[in-house]
């Protein structure tokens, strides 16, 4: 009997698993339908023209559009997606090791501590979403004004435009909170713990067919560009899977247990340390860090003071996403943030104390502090190739933009966006792992279908 066929047949016959899959699919459809609801007062024709604007503004616009699943080009109420929530989550995680009271709260009562973190993450999401909405509108307005137009003519916090501006911001914040709610429903009633990831995944995948077709629209170079991009896409996915699953197994010796009058032998096991423990978080950090100067500079491009306008234009072009300096800074920031975030996560795990409480020991290493120090050294060593790989994947679109014709960069190069690919590969891998676990919990046993 075929193992794969039996697994999927059982997957559909199981009422509980089938209900979770259908619930997940239904909620994703609702989210994608809501992604077509436009923000009030937006000139959608101008939004469509921004994608072809070219220069740093067009590059930044297309990147945000890809990661949002096309909601930016429509400028829908879900234009920010669930990224403000992810940003708030990262901020809370980074505050835990910095503020001793928060660290003690998590150690003393982990379950209540997690609930507290979740509650404050949602609270922090609201102002983060509002700031993100203001930033998005302002930077798109700046790009549009370079062509003598404006995305939102009535966006101002003074005078008669105050109420329309508040209504625009409230609709965008409400859209983000709606997306978070859909994600939590998927995690609770659909595929467990995958709600937000699947929402981002669905948005990115929905844009891939359009990007591929846009490559074929190039009558002169369409087919061979299409083949090159697909080959690069497949190779990059293979490399991401290979690196993401890479790990270093550190041998650990657990003490024997007394059973009656006998003492069992010590148990040898392994502590797996992942090559890329930080996932795609360093890419989000680096992109946010580099996008911020462009957003600030966009306010001063139209300044009446000549030197201020020139300085703002220079900063905007450098950090807008199309210059060589941007890709160089992007690479180094991804590497730096990979080490930084991995250290933060690793210190929170506190392997030294946890192994000591269990009586376990790494052969040749003293328990407690020395164990934590040794593991930190090993983790940093194996993080180096993972960090360099993330940096290479991050700047891959910019490298290909130099090697391939301009048409490929404009039409389909964002198909292989680094953050997008990491999300897609990671979500697919995690989803299959969760489904496999669900099958085993519902009585699926591989040994029963091998014959």
Quick one: what percent of the chain has pLDDT higher than 70? 74
- Does the CA dihedral 370-375-381-384 come out positive or negative? negative
Residue ranges of the alpha helices (H) in 35-82?
44-50, 55-67, 71-74
Class level of CATH domain 225-254+268-416? mainly alpha
Write out the two tokens for 449.
Answer: 């279908």
Tell me, what's the pLDDT at 181? 92
225-254+268-416 and 1-216+423-451 share a CATH fold = yes
Q: Could you tell me which residue, 383 or 425, shows the higher pLDDT?
A: 383
Buried b (16+ CB within 10 A) or exposed e, 187-198: beebbeebbbbb
Class level of CATH domain 1-216+423-451? mainly alpha
Tell me how far CA of residue 377 lies from CA of 260, 370, 381, 382, 384, in angstroms. 40, 11, 6, 9, 11
| Tens of pLDDT, residues 134-159 | 877 777 777 666 655 666 656 667 76
Buried b (16+ CB within 10 A) or exposed e, 278-294: bbbbbbbbbbeebbeeb
422 neighbors 66 (Cβ within 8 angstroms): no
| Tens of pLDDT, residues 406-426 | 544 444 444 455 567 777 887
User: Mean of the pLDDT values across residues 230-251?
Assistant: 82
Distance CA 350, CA 368 (A): 9
Check whether 187 has a pLDDT greater than 70: yes
Tell me, what's the pLDDT at 415? 47
Q: Where are the domains of the chain?
A: 1-216+423-451, 225-254+268-416
């Amino acid at each position: 009997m075929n193992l794969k066929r039996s697994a999927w047949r059982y997957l559909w016959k199981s009422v509980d698993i089938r209900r979770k899959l259908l619930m997940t699919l239904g909620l994703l459809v609702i989210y994608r339908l809501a992604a077509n609801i436009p923000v009030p007062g937006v000139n959608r024709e101008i939004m469509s023209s921004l994608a072809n604007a070219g220069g740093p503004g067009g590059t930044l616009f297309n990147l945000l559009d890809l990661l949002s699943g096309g909601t930016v080009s429509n400028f829908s109420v879900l234009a920010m997606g669930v990224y403000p929530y992810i940003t708030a989550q990262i901020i809370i995680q980074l505050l835990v090791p910095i503020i001793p009271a928060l660290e003690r709260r998590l150690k003393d009562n982990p379950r209540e501590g997690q609930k507290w973190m979740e509650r404050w993450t949602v609270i922090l999401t609201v102002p983060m979403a509002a700031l993100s909405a203001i930033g998005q509108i302002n930077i798109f307005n700046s790009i549009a004004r370079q062509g003598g137009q404006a995305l939102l003519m009535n966006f101002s916090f003074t005078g008669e435009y105050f109420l329309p501006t508040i209504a625009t911001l409230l609709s965008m914040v409400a859209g983000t909170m709606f997306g978070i709610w859909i994600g939590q429903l998927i995690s609770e009633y659909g595929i467990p713990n995958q709600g937000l990831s699947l929402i981002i995944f669905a948005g990115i995948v929905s844009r891939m067919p359009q990007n591929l077709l846009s490559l074929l629209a190039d009558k002169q170079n369409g087919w061979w560009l299409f083949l090159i991009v697909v080959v690069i896409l497949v190779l990059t996915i293979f490399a991401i899977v290979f690196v993401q699953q890479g790990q270093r197994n550190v041998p650990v010796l657990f003490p024997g247990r007394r059973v009656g009058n006998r003492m069992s032998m010590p148990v040898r096991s392994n502590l797996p340390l992942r090559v890329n423990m930080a996932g795609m978080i360093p890419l989000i950090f680096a992109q946010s860090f580099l996008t911020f100067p462009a957003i600030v500079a966009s306010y001063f491009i139209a300044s009446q003071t000549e030197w201020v306008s020139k300085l703002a234009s220079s900063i905007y072009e450098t950090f807008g996403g199309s210059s060589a300096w941007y890709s160089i800074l992007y690479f180094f920031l991804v590497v730096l943030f990979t080490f930084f975030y991995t250290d933060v996560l690793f210190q929170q795990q506190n392997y030294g104390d946890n192994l000591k409480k269990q009586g376990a020991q790494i052969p040749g290493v003293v328990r407690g502090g020395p164990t934590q120090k040794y593991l930190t050294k090993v983790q940093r060593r194996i993080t180096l190739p993972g960090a360099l790989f993330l940096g290479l994947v991050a700047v891959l679109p910019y490298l290909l933009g130099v090697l391939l014709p301009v048409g490929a960069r404009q039409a389909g190069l964002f198909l292989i966006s680094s953050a997008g690919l990491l999300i897609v590969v990671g979500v697919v891998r995690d989803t299959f792992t969760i489904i496999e676990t669900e099958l085993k919990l519902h009585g699926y046993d591989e040994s029963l279908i091998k014959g």
